[in-house]
Amino acid sequence: MNTILITGCSSGYGLETARHFLANGWRVIATMRTPREDLLPPSAHLRVLPLDVTKPESIAAALEAAGPIDVLVNNAGIGAFGAFEATPMSTTRAMFETNTFGVIAMTQAVLPPFRARRSGVVVNVTSSATLAPMPLVAVYTASKMAIEGFTASLALELEAFEVRVKLVEPGYAPTTRFIANGEQRMEGLIPEPYERYAHRVLSAFAQPATVTRESDVAEAVYRAASDTTGQLRFPAGPDAVALARRQGAA
């Protein structure tokens, strides 16, 4: 039985991905900053562990408690919607700490055992914001674009050791808690000169032609974790798939 460790399982994509792998017979280690076992169905194949990907000691403790794993899914992330001009550098650094450096740190921590046994998969979850420019998410996009480049390069680097590295690129999912979880970070990020423009953008987001479901992302992560064809990118959701095809990436 394969074992998967997923970061950011308290809600959204991470939670649904944990459910999906459990339903498909995997041993699942679901991590979150504040563990809640009641979020997932009881199972002898489930462990819920605390993990803050911005803290090296938390990463080390979680991986020691987890034991050997076959797949790492770097899903934990934070976001903010607002004008870049009004975004404090502290907010920018916080997004990069989780979305970029947290992913890099988790990946680096699992590579020695993966390389030694010549097997293992790292799946990095980014965003369809990397497939086409979107306004008012400049810092968030930058933090995810960094992981796109990191993943593409690392996938080549680790081929010789039979370690696979993949990207999952979710589309727009209004049912997730992305905005709600970032409300405090977003205070003051829409100053008066940007209000009318931001209202138009939010109105467009409120009536999307297509949306991504959490199950779309879970299924894409499952395909990525199981893939042996060398495919790097797995857009998730109809809008992300359409964007990827337009870019020639799918």
pLDDT value for 211 = 86
The 10s digit of each residue's pLDDT in 139-185 is 999 999 999 999 999 999 999 999 999 999 999 887 555 555 545 65
Structure tokens belonging to residue 5:
């460790």
Asked if residue 250 has pLDDT above 60, the reply is no
Instruction: Indicate the average pLDDT of the chain.
Output: 93
Residues 6+ apart with CB under 8 A from 159: none
Residue pair 150/108 in contact (Cβ under 8 Å)? The answer is: no
Structure tokens belonging to residue 138:
């400049």
Choose, from 140, 172, 194, 222, the residue flagged as catalytic.
140
The 10s digit of each residue's pLDDT in 185-199 is 567 899 999 999 999
The arrangement of strands across the sheet holding 121-125 comes to 46-50, 27-32, 3-6, 71-74, 121-125, 164-170, 233-236
Domain total in the chain? 1
Domain extent, residue 169, equals 3-247
pTM score of the predicted model: 0.93
Q: Which of these ranges, 79-83, 95-99, 146-150, has the smallest mean pLDDT?
A: 79-83
172 is catalytic: no
pLDDT grade for 203, boundaries at 50, 70 and 90 = confident
CATH number, domain at 229? 3.40.50.720
| DSSP state at residue 101 | I
- As a whole number of angstroms, the longest Cα–Cα distance in the chain is 56
